[in-house]
Amino acid sequence: MSITTRLKAGVKAALGRPAVPIHNLPSISQAGTLRTVYFHECLKKVAHLDGSLVECGVGQGYGLCTWLTLTALEPKQRVIWAFDSFEGFPKFAKEDETSAVREAGYAQYKQFDLLYVFNTMKSFGLSPAEINRRISFAKGFIPQSLNLYDKSPVALLHLDLDIFEPYRDALDFFWEFVVPGGVVMFDEYNKALDIFKFPGAQKAINDFLDARNLRGALRKDTTYGNVYIQKPDIA
């Protein structure tokens, strides 16, 4: 049988099979790839530090998949904390008012419950045993759910909450646990259109930085374009 005939036979057989249910995984994209590089760069900055990795805002779990994969390559086996309501967004504050136009789009987040995120991670290729061993899921609305945190040192804090109040509350709460040299990553700040899409998040971040005289510590990542700070020794 020629190679073309074999290929055609293979395709025909594949088409005849029932569809394999693949969970809603993101397709490959330039932005997704650059984001992974950015995550890795930040992780390398804290490679020598003890402490957990905290993800605030899980959504469908894409960031969590990336974090679990990248941290598995590190010699330090960090605990990953995952904070989310796992039932969508709370009410927006007045600081988020220009986001109101996007509120319809936010309704989709209601479906991303723990089971949904777990299935995303399994479809991504992560084993349930590893997910359970490495991730502490903290379900509930911030700020109440912050009580679930074990108050251990934080090496890396990734904030991807989109709106004012949880950004403000998570920053105020976690800052004291971030170790000197630890990294705080802001997903919504100063990228193209962020000020229109996430005015509340920008305000919370600016208020936080101004209160601690940290504006000068902001660094812009050159691959993905997001900003982060590294906690100074005295802060």
Ligand X SMILES: C[S@@+](CC[C@H](N)C(=O)[O-])C[C@H]1O[C@@H](n2cnc3c(N)ncnc32)[C@H](O)[C@@H]1O
Residue 29 CB, shortest distance to ligand X, in Å, is: 13
Q: SS3 string of the chain?
A: CCHHHHHHHHHHHHHHCCCCCCCCCCCCCHHHHHHHHHHHHHHHHCCCCCCEEEEECCCCCHHHHHHHHHHCCCCCCCCEEEEECCCCCCCCCHHHHHHHHHHHHHHHHHHCCHHHHHHHHHHHCCCHHHHHHHEEEEECCCCHHHHHCCCCCEEEEEECCCCHHHHHHHHHHHHHHEEEEEEEEECCCCCCCHHHHCHHHHHHHHHHHHHCCCHHHCEECCCCCCEEEECCCCC
2 versus 27: smaller Cβ distance to ligand X: 27
Binding stretches for ligand X (CB under 6 A): 57-60, 62-63, 84-85, 88-90, 109, 112, 141-142, 160-163, 166
33 versus 213: smaller Cβ distance to ligand X: 33
62 versus 174: smaller Cβ distance to ligand X: 62
Q: Give the distance, in angstroms, between the CA of residue 173 and the centroid of all CA atoms in the same chain.
A: 18
24 versus 213: smaller Cβ distance to ligand X: 24
109 versus 177: smaller Cβ distance to ligand X: 109
Residue 15 CB, shortest distance to ligand X, in Å, is: 32
145 versus 209: smaller Cβ distance to ligand X: 145
CB 98 within 8 A of CB 104: no
Residue 227 CB, shortest distance to ligand X, in Å, is: 16
Residue 85 CB, shortest distance to ligand X, in Å, is: 4
φ, ψ (nearest 5 deg) of residue 229: -130, 155
